[in-house]
């Protein structure tokens, strides 16, 4: 059996989560533009369906990464670290980001 790799830090999960949110939004935007530009049943229109399938797979990957992150960080810190916002929250610079995506410090054990 090989050596276990260290995984991602919480900060790296936050960075990857933001990038994947940007990519997903781009895919949705392109899908809408293509759908609005071509007949639904034509060859060109089916391209939008392929983009929609890619977007769905990306959403599944984000969900899987969230599961991995929780298993690494621990579910007991879900609220304090605002883990729900890492893969499905606001992007930096968006209204709501500073209020909801900044982690609340976790006090040392016994001082909670």
The pLDDT tens digits along the chain (112 residues) read 678 888 898 889 999 999 999 999 999 999 999 999 998 888 888 899 999 999 999 999 999 999 999 888 877 777 777 788 888 887 777 765 544 444 444 444 454 4
Residue 87 domain boundaries: 10-95
Tokens linked to 21: 């949110």
* pTM strictly above 0.85: no
Which residues fall within 8 angstroms of residue 45, CB to CB, at 6 or more apart?
34, 35, 38, 39
The answer to the question of residue 102 being in a domain is no
In the 8-state DSSP scheme, what is residue 74?
Answer: -
Using the 8-state DSSP alphabet, how is residue 75 labeled?
A: G
Query: Would residue 1 count as lying in a domain?
Result: no
Residue 54 within a domain: yes
CA separation for the pair 9, 65 (Å, rounded): 12
Domain count, the chain: 1
């Amino acid at each position: 059996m090989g050596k276990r790799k260290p995984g991602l830090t919480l900060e790296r999960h936050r960075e990857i989560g933001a990038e994947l949110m940007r990519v997903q939004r781009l895919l949705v935007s392109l899908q809408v533009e293509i759908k609005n530009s071509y007949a639904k049943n034509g060859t060109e229109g089916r391209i939008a369906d392929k983009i929609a399938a890619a977007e769905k797979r990306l959403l599944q990957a984000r969900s899987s990464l969230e599961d991995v992150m929780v298993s690494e960080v621990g579910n007991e810190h879900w609220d304090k670290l605002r883990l729900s916002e890492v893969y499905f929250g606001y992007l930096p610079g968006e209204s709501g980001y500073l209020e909801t995506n900044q982690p609340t410090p976790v006090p040392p054990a016994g001082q909670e």
